[in-house]
């Protein structure tokens, strides 16, 4: 298929979109009521989308307590796959898919990839973990649906990743932002310049929060266009929201999900432009519909229409999860605020770690920052000045005085999946 859009529904008028949502929502209720969990929690039908706000939220702990199959809405023989969330913040949860669920998911991912400019002629190296995590298989089936040559590289094994990129002239990659920054160090060690020696033109960055400054850094290190990709296993995985070439927010595919933003404290609905917690409802899921799911992710809806012509609303970059918020000396702080400052300083390397502890009963924050090799081994006064600059810039942003330790490149722990940016030792 050629043209600007993968699917006509991308540009559907808002009125038509709302009608479609209401129809699919009522169908979703009918399906969900077959599960033990939703049987008595949902009305038969609603007459207007406004009535959705009176329906109770579904939380992560609901998913955990209905483990393993309290939310299953079809007989098990109709299920062809399960995925499970990473379980970084507690016991894992499980999501079941029918054949048609897997099909709709692949279509949403293909639509998202096509939107960024990927075509059949591309070579797509998928560097996200294959397995229970949805980042690998989710993009895999989408890319095959689109018709690109798909390399199921999975995560890790950096030297092999570089070799694959060179041998098969990969043009598109899917990678976590933290791993992209790390991998660059290996390129330097191998004396390969990704800009001139490779054919990369597009990257999908997702699975963890990162700043606009990190995107820009990755774009310039690799000489490509990086697009933000948002998803969570409870809503399939990747393909929930994706950036278009305008790169001002991610379009949430509203023909497949209902998007709400609520106040994380009160649960009240917020208006477009106001920052709050993203709440999502599946509209096409058969095996395991999930209604008004509290994602824990903090973002806002971009007001106004997107110049790309798509009518589906856009959400801002995810600032973090409600449970990522740190309270240090009484000040509320998201790790992303720190990353934003660090990645804007060219002398700063590609990794950092935030450590928090109590010293004499007071919170203390120490940030270990990797420095570029030539700076680390260079003039000591320049190094001191860099440290002062980091402290000053951070103090202006986070309003507390951090301790900064400048460390050698490639010396901080790293992960091939989601990065661990904060070590909080206060309760120890
Ligand atoms: P999982 O269900 O284990 O794949 O984890 C999903 C979670 O990863 C989401 O709820 C977000 O907290 C985070 N996440 C995924 N994509 C992004 C993104 N593009 N930006 C920020 N956080 C993300
Ligand atoms: Zn757009």
Cα(414)–Cα(347) distance, integer angstroms: 20
Q: What is the pLDDT of residues 62-80, one digit of tens each?
A: 999 998 999 999 999 999 9
CB of 161 shorter than 6 A to ligand 1: no
Q: What is the pLDDT of residues 381-390, one digit of tens each?
A: 999 999 999 9
Superfamily of domain 326-424: ANL, C-terminal domain (3.30.300.30)
Q: What separation, in Å, do the N-terminal and C-terminal C-alpha atoms of the chain show?
A: 57
CB of 230 shorter than 6 A to ligand 1: yes
Structure tokens at 304: 């106004």
Cα(250)–Cα(342) distance, integer angstroms: 24
Q: Is the Cβ–Cβ distance between 355 and 423 less than 8 Å?
A: yes
Res. 57 pLDDT band, cuts 50 70 90? very high
CB of 226 shorter than 6 A to ligand 1: no
Q: Is the Cβ–Cβ distance between 356 and 326 less than 8 Å?
A: yes
Q: What is the mean pLDDT of residues 97-103?
A: 98
> Under 8 Å CB-to-CB from 29, ≥6 apart: which residues?
38, 42, 43, 44, 45, 46, 291
Res. 2 pLDDT band, cuts 50 70 90? low
Q: Is the Cβ–Cβ distance between 223 and 214 less than 8 Å?
A: no
pLDDT on residue 1: 46
pLDDT on residue 325: 86
Ion ligand 2 — residues with CB < 5 Å: 244, 246, 306, 308, 310
Q: What is the pLDDT of residues 257-277, one digit of tens each?
A: 999 999 999 999 999 999 999
Does the pLDDT at position 86 exceed 80?
Answer: no
Q: What is the pLDDT of residues 400-416, one digit of tens each?
A: 899 999 999 999 998 77
Question: Which residues in the chain are classed under CATH 3.30.300.30?
Answer: 326-424
Counted residue by residue, the chain has a size of 428
CB of 30 shorter than 6 A to ligand 1: no
CB of 85 shorter than 6 A to ligand 1: yes
CB of 84 shorter than 6 A to ligand 1: no
Q: How far is the CA of 337 from the centre of ligand 1 (A)?
A: 17
Q: What is the mean pLDDT of residues 164-185?
A: 95
Q: What is the mean pLDDT of residues 115-127?
A: 98
Q: CATH number of 1-322: 3.90.15.10, 3.40.50.12780, 3.40.228.10, 3.40.30.10? A: 3.40.50.12780
Q: What is the pLDDT of residues 9-54, one digit of tens each?
A: 999 999 999 999 999 999 999 999 999 999 999 999 999 999 999 9
Cα 386 to chain center, whole Å? 31
Q: Which ligand is nearest to the CA of 135?
A: 1
For ligand 1, atom 10, the nearest C-alpha belongs to 232
Which of 82, 84, 205, 206 to probe ligand 1 with, by most ligand atoms within 8 A of CB?
206
Percent of the chain at pLDDT > 90 equals 87
Report the atom number in ligand 1 closest to the C-alpha of 318.
21
Strand-pairing partners, residue 278, are 261
Q: What is the mean pLDDT of residues 136-163?
A: 96
Which of 86, 204, 242, 318 to probe ligand 1 with, by most ligand atoms within 8 A of CB?
318
For ligand 1, atom 21, the nearest C-alpha belongs to 209
Question: Which residues in the chain are classed under CATH 3.40.50.12780?
Answer: 1-322
Q: How far is the CA of 202 from the centre of ligand 2 (A)?
A: 17
Strand-pairing partners, residue 357, are 364
Q: What is the mean pLDDT of residues 228-239?
A: 97
Average pLDDT, the chain: 94
């Amino acid at each position: 298929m050629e043209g600007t859009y993968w699917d006509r529904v991308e540009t559907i008028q808002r009125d038509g979109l709302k009608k479609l949502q209401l129809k699919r929502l009522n169908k979703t209720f009918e399906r969900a009521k077959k599960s033990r969990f939703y049987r008595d929690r949902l009305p038969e039908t609603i007459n207007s989308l406004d009535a959705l706000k009176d329906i109770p939220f579904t939380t992560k702990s609901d998913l955990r307590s209905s483990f393993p199959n309290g939310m299953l809405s079809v007989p098990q023989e109709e299920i062809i796959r399960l995925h499970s969330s990473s379980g970084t913040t507690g016991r894992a949860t499980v999501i079941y898919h029918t054949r048609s669920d897997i099909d709709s998911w692949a279509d949403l991912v293909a639509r998202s990839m096509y939107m960024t400019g990927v075509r059949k002629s591309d070579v797509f190296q998928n560097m996200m973990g294959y397995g229970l995590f949805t980042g690998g298989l989710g993009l895999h089936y989408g890319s095959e649906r689109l018709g690109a040559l798909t390399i199921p590289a999975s995560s890790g094994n950096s030297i092999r990743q570089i070799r694959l990129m060179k041998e098969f002239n990969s043009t598109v990659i899917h990678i976590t932002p933290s791993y992209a920054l790390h991998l660059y160090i290996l390129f330097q060690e191998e004396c390969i310049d990704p800009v001139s020696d490779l054919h990369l033109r597009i990257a999908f960055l997702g699975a963890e929060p990162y700043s606009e400054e990190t995107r820009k850094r990755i774009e310039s290190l690799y000489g490509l266009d990086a697009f933000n990709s948002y998803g969570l296993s409870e809503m399939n995985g990747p393909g929930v929201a994706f950036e278009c070439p305008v790169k001002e927010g991610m379009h949430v595919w509203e023909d497949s999900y209902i998007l709400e933003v609520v106040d994380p404290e009160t649960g009240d609905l917020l208006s477009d432009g106001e920052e709050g917690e993203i709440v999502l409802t599946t509209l096409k899921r058969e095996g395991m519909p999930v209604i008004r799911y509290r994602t824990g992710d903090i973002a806002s809806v971009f007001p106004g229409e997107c110049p790309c012509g798509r009518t589906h609303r856009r959400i801002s970059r995810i600032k973090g999860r409600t449970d990522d918020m740190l309270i240090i000396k009484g000040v509320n702080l998201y790790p992303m605020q720190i990353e934003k400052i660090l990645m804007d300083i060219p002398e700063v390397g590609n990794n950092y770690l935030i450590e928090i502890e109590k010293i004499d009963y007071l919170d203390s924050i120490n940030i270990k920052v990797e420095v570029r090799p030539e700076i680390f081994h260079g003039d000591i006064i320049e190094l001191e000045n860099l440290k002062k600059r980091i402290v000053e810039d951070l103090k202006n942003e986070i309003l507390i005085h951090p301790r900064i330790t400048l460390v050698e490149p490639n010396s901080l722990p790293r992960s091939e999946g989601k990065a661990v940016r904060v070590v909080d030792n206060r309760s120890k």
